[in-house]
Amino acid sequence: MAHPAEDDRRSDLLDDIRFCNSGSRFERKEEVVEIISSLDVEPGQRTAMGCLTRRRSGGSVFDTGDLMNDPSFRATGMLTEIIHPTRGPVVLLLAGQDERSPTPPISCPPTLGQHTDTILHDLPRTA
């Protein structure tokens, strides 16, 4: 069970014997839930993860939507936007890019059947 002092707003509980280990917190779980619930402002994911990682190893895991909408992640250059002929603007993640190598040209993938005539024309004909 989480320590209620993992939120900086209740750091006064860090040395409280009632919450010194997970067993004692579990015995008082209703009280722990009440303390945590009383923290009226819900922090954003980055704030909450910052509070937790100051006391534990590990870090935040963001989903794809979080990353695509994060200005600091966009600033890394790992995202690019293309215009797809039928879907409109599409954001792509440039995963596995080596910063020493030039970025390859990014273009829209072909639509279904876009190159069929060319491919069939170039195939060898058999009797």
For residue 25, which phi and psi values (nearest 5 degrees)? -70, -40
Query: Which pLDDT tens digits describe the chain residue by residue (127 residues)?
Result: 455 555 566 777 778 888 777 788 888 888 887 887 776 555 565 566 565 555 554 555 667 777 778 787 778 777 888 888 888 988 887 766 566 666 677 788 888 999 999 999 888 877 6
pLDDT at 113: 92
pLDDT at 75: 80
CA-wise closest residue to 73 among 56, 48, 91, 49: 91
pLDDT at 111: 86
